[in-house]
Structure 1
Amino acid sequence: MRRAPGRGLGGDAGSRSSGPGVTTRPFVTLSVAVSLDGYLDDARVERLLLSNSADFDRVDAVRAASDAILVGAETLRRDDPRLRIADAGRRAVRAAAGEPELPLRVTVTASGDLDPGLRVFLPGGAALVYTTDTGARTLGDRLAGRAEVVTLGPEIDFGDLLDDLGRRGVTRLMVEGGGRVHTAFLAADLADELLLAVAPVLVGDPAAPRFLHPAAFPGGSERRMELVDVDRVGDVAVLRYRPRPHAPVRD
């Protein structure tokens, strides 16, 4: 278990550098599939599959182009994802380029409530857990031999997390959720790109998880992101957004 190096000197939103002598932060892509009314899932035990097979393949390609994939602990506990690249050809391309066959699997937990039996910690690829001082005490040596545990201090600071990933050589980070993690990246202005897959489904259940939680987002409702691209993937619309400088809406 180790503590991450000290806080960088982070600049403006979207800056790729954290200051003199500090490795460049990775390019951050938030990847999410939502219902038409903004839900990540319904409230049933079985996971609601919002994407179709073609969209799952698109997500697999984004994973293959990433150095690391990050999900929150709540998503691990709820969905138990493997965070693997499904397509053998894509894994082979990575290996031929001298890269690890699988991206680094990253999770974040403030509490340290993680089961070492989760599939993300199975052999085959490296795993990294960012946590707090309290979470580190809770974890103890529970993940020894399964994941490296990095303590960020009394609370999770996503800027510090990106600084540490940059020092590890991660240049592209894919963030797959859940809602609290997506909210944290957007609220801290740390997302470079948002890939939003919108499924033709209505959930409407207040007990179901939503894409974003209430937060003080930079610029508030007057700040607009740039719509870079729109793709039709079967019955799913994939919107690619990138942040741009604050620009108030005018009549």
Structure 2
Amino acid sequence: MSIMHVVVNAAMSADGKLSSRRREQITISGEADFARVDRLRAASDAVVVGVGTVLADDPHLTVKDDSLTAARRERGESAHPARVVIDSRGRTPLDAAIVDDAATTYVCLSERAPVDKRMDLADRAELVTAGETRVDLQRAFAAIQQAGLEQIMVEGGGELIFSLFEVGLVDELRVFVGPTVIGGRDAPTLADGNGFVSNFPTLSLESVERLGEGVLLTWNAQ
């Protein structure tokens, strides 16, 4: 089996925020970065988000450019990458865009997820159970790798990104920094969660690229 490669991709404001304190979606990127994200999705086997992102933004997480979906089909792949939701308690709404039939969806649950939620979600997604009270990310990612998903794109949010760094699952971090200041002590940042107090993950800068009025930073995790 090939080695899984996990790329965390995010857009943040110049002051490091993902959205406002109301957790409302804010346009940080421009067209050039939107196109880049679409290409990255098209090159991935799966796109991963936390349930908080599903509840806040109701993302579809499909490839937008028809030429990219056509190229995937020519390679013998589905038009869109699989979608993965990290959802310890089974809170993914049954009418969420991410569980439609555009692509296969995996919902990763903990054992505490209610049985009725499991039964409802099982009609719309493949279920992965990993962990007692919270999703064990290492076990969950091992399970999706067993399903053939090896090129992984993570699109947030901050709680999930922190947790992935915490367990050492991040291989690469790509961040578009946009020309916007959001502010707010309660606004979500790139990596929320409990935060590190020691053994801080370090990154190796791979590239810096100007995109419009913003900049794309690419780091490799060490």
Specify the TM-score bucket, using the shorter chain as the normaliser: over 0.9
CA contact (8 A) 2:129 2:140 kept: no
CA contact (8 A) 2:53 2:156 kept: yes
SS in structure 2 of the partner of residue 143 of structure 1: helix
CA contact (8 A) 1:25 1:163 kept: no
The 2-side partners of 1:242 and 1:77 are apart by 30
Structure 1 residues 74 and 45: alpha-carbon distance in aligned structure 2, compared to 1, 3 A threshold: closer
CA contact (8 A) 1:85 1:91 kept: yes
Residue 24 of structure 1 and its aligned partner are, at CA, apart by 4.5
The aligned length equals 220
Return 5+ residue gaps in structure 1 as ranges.
1-22, 245-251
What is the aligned-residue identity percentage? Answer: 31
Match of 1:169 in 2: 148
Pairs within 5 Å for 1:80-229: 80-137=58-115, 139-154=117-132, 155-213=134-192, 214-216=194-196, 219-220=199-200, 224-229=202-207
The 1-side partners of 2:198 and 2:60 are apart by 33
SS in structure 2 of the partner of residue 227 of structure 1: strand
| TM norm structure 2 | 0.93
SS in structure 2 of the partner of residue 76 of structure 1: helix
Match of 1:5 in 2: none
The 2-side partners of 1:228 and 1:219 are apart by 22
- Which structure has the bigger radius of gyration? 1
Residue 53 of structure 1 and its aligned partner are, at CA, apart by 1.1
The 2-side partners of 1:60 and 1:217 are apart by 35
CA contact (8 A) 1:192 1:243 kept: yes
Match of 1:237 in 2: 215
SS in structure 2 of the partner of residue 161 of structure 1: helix
Pairing 1:28–2:1 present: no
The 1-side partners of 2:24 and 2:114 are apart by 31
Structure 1 residues 211 and 232: alpha-carbon distance in aligned structure 2, compared to 1, 3 A threshold: same
The 1-side partners of 2:207 and 2:54 are apart by 30
Equivalent AA in structure 1 for residue 154 of structure 2: V
The 2-side partners of 1:77 and 1:184 are apart by 19
Equivalent AA in structure 1 for residue 169 of structure 2: L
Match of 2:35 in 1: 57
Match of 1:66 in 2: 44
Structure 1 counterpart of 2:56, from 71, 78, 85: 78
CA contact (8 A) 1:25 1:165 kept: no
The 1-side partners of 2:175 and 2:135 are apart by 25
The 2-side partners of 1:107 and 1:81 are apart by 11
CA contact (8 A) 2:176 2:216 kept: yes
Residue 144 of structure 1 and its aligned partner are, at CA, apart by 3.2
SS in structure 2 of the partner of residue 134 of structure 1: coil
Equivalent AA in structure 2 for residue 58 of structure 1: R
Residue 188 of structure 1 and its aligned partner are, at CA, apart by 1.1
The 2-side partners of 1:143 and 1:243 are apart by 34
The 1-side partners of 2:29 and 2:172 are apart by 19
Structure 1 residues 136 and 193: alpha-carbon distance in aligned structure 2, compared to 1, 3 A threshold: farther
Residue 207 of structure 1 and its aligned partner are, at CA, apart by 2.8
